[in-house]
Amino acid sequence: MSKHDSKTTENVHTEFKEHMTYGEYLNLDQLLSAQNRLSKHHDEMLFIIIHQVSELWMKLTLHELRAAIDTIREGDIQEALKMLSRVSKIQTQIIHAWDVLSTLTPAEYVQFRDDLGQASGFQSYQYRMVEFALGYKTPHVLKIYEKDPELHKELRSAYEAPGIYDAAIEKLDEAGFEINKDLINRDFTTIYQSDSSVETAWQEVYKDVDKYWDLYQLGEKLVDIEDWFQQWRFRHMKTVERIIGHKSGTGGSSGVSYLKKVLDHRFFPELWDIRTSL
């Protein structure tokens, strides 16, 4: 070892009999032993890790979205903006994961697809919770999780809770805009439908940015999140088409056809419509 190497490592901690290590802090033994292949095929490891990494990113997305919803409702939009910016950055990471998965060819995937049984990304409960937080409420998905009462209860709670756009509409109402009162106390288990009073309010916000700076920034953060989410959906759809074509999904969904259909949904419709009317 050179003198230079010795100097750069002389203060490095090497005694950990009574101290926590990096691996212990991150529970790496548990994390890195969770890749249990059902087949002997080499490429199944890629398939498992991509989905596990995506689930970790979704966990952080939910952590940020839930905090942002609470923070907006409490009146601190600026603090929520940082959380929403982080969500957008997370979304870019999940999108790029599809680039890695797309290296899996149809001939490789077919070697272990049958081993998955009926397990499918369609059953990702965290993905459903992200959809719920963004206001896309689909009751049929709750049945999938009835086998786990605690998880089903958590999903039901998320299903019935207001989403990020409901929190934003509350702020428009509190800012003095004439928002349809039926929206403030609406049934949050229903998918939000565009409302002219909300569109008018957002138009005023975008026409007087200086006066409504916080609301304007919030509107743009929401557009960022929807934009990235739809790009994620599109990359998902194209990756599935590339690997299995138009076969049905392992979970029984129609596969590419289903993924194309959900691309048409808009989470925050008025924020898109005002771009035409401004």
242 annotated among ligand-binding-site residues: no
Among left, alpha and beta (phi > 0; psi -120 to 50; other), residue 15 is beta
Whose structure tokens read 């719920």? 132
Distance separating alpha carbons of residues 169 and 163, to the nearest angstrom: 10
Residue 2 pLDDT class (50, 70, 90 cuts): low
- At 231, the pLDDT band (50, 70, 90 cuts) reads very high
Q: How far apart are CA 244 and CA 264, in angstroms?
A: 22
For residue 190, say whether it is annotated as part of any ligand binding site: no
- Which residues, at least 6 apart from 151, have a Cβ–Cβ distance to it below 8 Å? 125, 145
Confirm or deny that 72 is annotated as ligand binding: no
Residue 47 annotated in ligand binding: yes
Q: Which of 3-17, 107-121, 213-227, 262-276 has the lowest mean pLDDT?
A: 3-17
**Which residues touch 48 (CB under 8 Å, ≥6 apart)?**
35, 36, 37
What is the per-residue pLDDT across 110-124, written as a single tens digit (0 to 9) for each? 999 988 887 777 789
Across 12-22, average pLDDT: 75
Tallying the residues shown for the chain, one arrives at 278
Q: Binding residue per annotation — 63?
A: no
Judge whether 113 is annotated as a binding position.
yes
Q: Is 239 annotated as a binding residue?
A: no
Write down the pTM of the prediction.
Answer: 0.88
Convert the pLDDT of each residue in 35-81 to its tens digit: 999 999 999 999 999 999 999 999 999 999 999 999 999 999 999 99
49 is in an annotated binding site: yes
Q: 244 and 109 in contact (C-beta within 8 Å)?
A: yes
Q: Retrieve residue 146's tokens.
A: 């009835």
Alpha carbon distances (Å) from 28 to 24, 69, 163, 188: 6, 31, 34, 39
Q: Is pLDDT larger for residue 209 or for residue 254?
A: 209
User: Which residues have CB under 8 Å from 105's CB, separation 6+?
Assistant: 243
Pair 72, 167: CB distance under 8 Å:
yes
Report which of 72, 49, 109 is spatially closest to residue 219, judged by C-alpha positions: 72
> Is 236 assigned to a binding site?
yes
